[in-house]
A and B are shown apart, each in its own frame.
Chain A
């Protein structure tokens, strides 16, 4: 974003924030159609739905299972510090938030309500953002979702990885 667009967005941003709050953009409900298959350990169902929607765009492998990926990340977060869990929840809500999206990217819907192509645009905005919080937020979501998919054996054949060798383990 160059200086001029920043100023323009800055001005418009203030106005939109005011209008947006009055029409409840910030609290537009999340599309929760991506539901957990089993009990959650670290995040709630709303976070889960957003996370699975992100996974569906981040991981390009045709056989990727966004629900399973979100479950794996939930299990991983359950092993982390409570503050890290809380931060991650905030990050998901920031991505989902239609109001922030409107101010910064000109989209007026929550992430989970966007078309796949529009979701990709949001990810591109975050990836390229001049705001460190968005760039690093993108990095966290990218790495966690892609790692959760590719770490598991089901993903290996697709990328030509034969798996660990059979080694005669000395007794």
Chain B
């Protein structure tokens, strides 16, 4: 059965549950995924006059749904209800799943891609088609639209302030961050969706812009595969997600278009290619995570790590460590569930530590993976049900860097007045001063450091050598399928060394402008 759908104008947010089983939708351009890469592309291409259809697996949740509760909002807004992890569960992965993608739950820290990263990509990964000079005006434009501005020091909460003060005391470079917010009330609940629409996520910016220009955004619609015929992608086959928000309802839809853009994120995009029989080569390879290790510090006076802008301070003092893996340091908000997961031990020990939650400061060291030739990152595959898995055994040198990072964060906290600093599950390090810290970390088995990640990058590498990449760099077009593009964080050849969102916004803005002008002529 095929169903005629009102085309092009007006745009709309559509719940796939309202479509008939077997419906066929048509558009000029289909964009799969509505996060950082998908939303910016949708807005630009709709503005250029194309009939754009965005397909998003997650639901269309808005501020009234953002209850500032971990038990409600994590299952609602995160991949695998918040329980995603690498294959050997060595790294817990937080990744969004909603209209607006991970930008709905991210912590608003905004950085442009460092210039040396593009230089490295040009020399080591044959990325010749994009430069930071070309990206400059696009970042300017994105920063204007998303109101990206630097935080002043007096706006930081104590969790961030101790990071700042400790770095200053040790002479480590540190700055307040820039954030994409407008009218932020500093409640501290960015990770559960902004309850006042202050966060300028894709949900309240580029997606409504796209819809205002005629785009349709179809939620609860999971793309199973692309169908290729005669050397081109002809349509996508998608499943409608059921009422629980995760399991398929049994309804299927088809979307036909002239051009297709994959923007389902690191993990999601390579998984679609693999399910479509378009895997092999570099598809799903070189997935990087900025593996994160967290440090807990206790203070005599309340820190209240659950209130206030989650991230407003960052230190890149150790981003460049020569041959060693680089690191950067930031704060992490701690609500009871995240704190429980991050706190080691069980039974009375765990509960005792949890009772000090108001006095807890939590910071993270993020490892800048993928720059050393030996670091090949993780690999994506799909299970029988089609669900993606990432296999990433974090290498020893990255883990060693993270131990160095944990010790540095401990020193920063001691310098800021912490009474005790702890990390690691077993052996668990709990030190009251630097001497104890050194003693307890001597011969520490870094393979046992518990890790997590909130930054999935790579898996569909860009580059101008088809043998070592999936899409070419000038327009992120698939090397062999001429009507297929990838525009999201999966195209990065390495990690970034900064939080990824603005790198993706800027790149999507530039590339979609190029595509719009190429397709018009």
A155 within 8 Å of B (CB atoms): yes
Closest-by-CB residue of A relative to B383 is: A83
Q: Say yes or no: B189 contacts A132, CB within 8 Å.
A: no
**Interface size, chain A (Cβ < 8 Å):** 45
Q: Which of B129-137, B152-160, B239-247 contacts A (4 or more CB under 8 A)?
A: B239-247
Give the residue of B75, B83, B89, B355 whose beta carbon is less than 8 angstroms from that of A160: B355
B5 within 8 Å of A (CB atoms): no
Report which B residues bind A (CB closer than 8 A).
63, 67-71, 74-75, 80-83, 85, 88-90, 92, 185, 187, 189, 195-196, 244-247, 306-307, 335-337, 339-341, 343, 346-352, 354-355, 357-358, 383-385, 387, 425-426, 448, 450
Q: Say yes or no: A143 contacts B354, CB within 8 Å.
A: no
The distance from the CB of A162 to the nearest CB of chain B, in whole angstroms, is 8
CB-CB contacts below 8 Å: A113-171 with B: 120, 123, 127-128, 132, 135-136, 139-140, 142-144, 146-147, 149-153, 155-156, 158-161, 164-165, 167, 169-170
User: Which residues of chain B come closer than 8 Å to A76, judged between CB atoms?
Assistant: 75, 81-83
Q: Which of B75, B336, B337, B384 has the most CB of A within 10 A?
A: B336
User: Which residues of chain B come closer than 8 Å to A84, judged between CB atoms?
Assistant: 80, 83, 387
Q: Say yes or no: B354 contacts A153, CB within 8 Å.
A: no
User: Which residues of chain B come closer than 8 Å to A127, judged between CB atoms?
Assistant: 346, 425-426
User: Which residues of chain A come closer than 8 Å to B195, judged between CB atoms?
Assistant: 167, 169
Q: Say yes or no: B336 contacts A159, CB within 8 Å.
A: yes
Q: In the complex the two chains form, what is the Cα distance from A78 to B247 in whole Å?
A: 8
Q: In the complex the two chains form, what is the Cα distance from A156 to B71 in whole Å?
A: 12
Q: Can you sample 8 A-B contacts with CB below 8 Å?
A: A76-B81, A79-B81, A84-B80, A84-B83, A136-B89, A143-B340, A147-B337, A161-B306
Q: Which of A2-10, A54-62, A99-107 contacts B (4 or more CB under 8 A)?
A: A54-62
Q: Say yes or no: A151 contacts B70, CB within 8 Å.
A: yes
User: Which residues of chain A come closer than 8 Å to B306, judged between CB atoms?
Assistant: 161
Q: Say yes or no: A160 contacts B187, CB within 8 Å.
A: no
The count of A-to-B residue pairs whose CB atoms sit within 8 angstroms is 134
The distance from the CB of A108 to the nearest CB of chain B, in whole angstroms, is 23
A39 within 8 Å of B (CB atoms): no
Give the residue of B71, B92, B245, B384 whose beta carbon is less than 8 angstroms from that of A79: B245
Q: In the complex the two chains form, what is the Cα distance from A120 to B348 in whole Å?
A: 11
Q: In the complex the two chains form, what is the Cα distance from A147 to B85 in whole Å?
A: 15
Q: Say yes or no: B357 contacts A60, CB within 8 Å.
A: no
- Classify the secondary structure of A's interface with B: helix
Q: In the complex the two chains form, what is the Cα distance from A82 to B339 in whole Å?
A: 28
Closest-by-CB residue of A relative to B337 is: A151
Q: Say yes or no: B69 contacts A147, CB within 8 Å.
A: no
Closest-by-CB residue of B relative to A73 is: B83
Q: Say yes or no: A143 contacts B341, CB within 8 Å.
A: yes
User: Which residues of chain B come closer than 8 Å to A151, judged between CB atoms?
Assistant: 69-71, 74, 336-337, 340
Q: In the complex the two chains form, what is the Cα distance from A82 to B247 in whole Å?
A: 10
Q: Say yes or no: A164 contacts B69, CB within 8 Å.
A: yes
Q: Say yes or no: A147 contacts B340, CB within 8 Å.
A: yes
Q: Say yes or no: B89 contacts A159, CB within 8 Å.
A: no
